Structure 1
């Protein structure tokens, strides 16, 4: 997943913000897959448990689905704007691995692309 934006641009850097997003991606990966592995080992009906948990779980599910759709749209639009390569890998990682991993990972590589363009501004 390269954040290179073309020939003649500055070299992409791991800015503090990019490292923060990368750390969040790792937390998202470990946090979600800990429960996925538990469900697999316990031979749980993962999807059934998810959708049969009552109104609170349904509310959370709806909330997360709307955020996921918005995140995927943002990744595609922003990735194209910055001419980032292989954006489809981030989009594919959202449902296959976890949005909590894919979106912060995209943001980390977005920061690298911005730094290569000289657009990254730290707060």
Structure 2
């Protein structure tokens, strides 16, 4: 099963780890400083509102992709990536899903008759 870790899957996995570490570093700082996290997202000026809207739209589109593509490829637990993004960050769960998707596609390629051994 480890043979399905393609170079692209590893790149996605590295991006997922970077997304988790990067976002949770700032989340930990916000928690330690007792900041109003949600309030800061929506009321700290137009630049913050712009990036918040940008990321929200990307997260919604990515969530739709996760559901649709997971169904197409027969990947289970697509909902867990979306729910997990609320607990961690979409910057973690989306690249993690991309890594698992790449592994699934490699497994499907290997399983097809006449495919690479």
TM-score (norm 1): 0.85
Q: Is 2:96 the counterpart of 1:105?
A: yes
CA distance in 1, matches of 2:49, 2:36: 16
Moved over 3 A (4+): none
1:49 aligned partner: 40
1:81 aligned partner: 72
Q: CA deviation at 1:114?
A: 0.2
Q: Is 2:59 the counterpart of 1:71?
A: no
1:7 aligned partner: none
Q: CA deviation at 1:11?
A: 7.8
For residue 35 of structure 2, give the secondary structure of its aligned residue in structure 1: coil
Aligned-residue CA RMSD in angstroms? 1.6
Structure 1 counterpart of 2:19, from 10, 15, 28: 28
**Structure 1, unaligned stretches of length 5 or more?**
1-9
**Structure 2, unaligned stretches of length 5 or more?**
111-117
Q: CA deviation at 1:50?
A: 1.5
Higher RCO (Cα < 8 Å, 6 or more apart): 1
Q: CA deviation at 1:91?
A: 1.1
1:6 aligned partner: none
1:39 aligned partner: 30
Q: CA deviation at 1:47?
A: 1.1
**Number of residue pairs matched by the alignment:** 110
Report if the CA contact (8 A) 1:11-1:116 is conserved. Answer: no
- Greater share of helix: 2
Q: Deviations over 1:45-96 (max 9, x none)?
A: 1111111111111111111111000000000000010001111111111222
Structure 2 counterpart of 1:95, from 86, 91, 95: 86
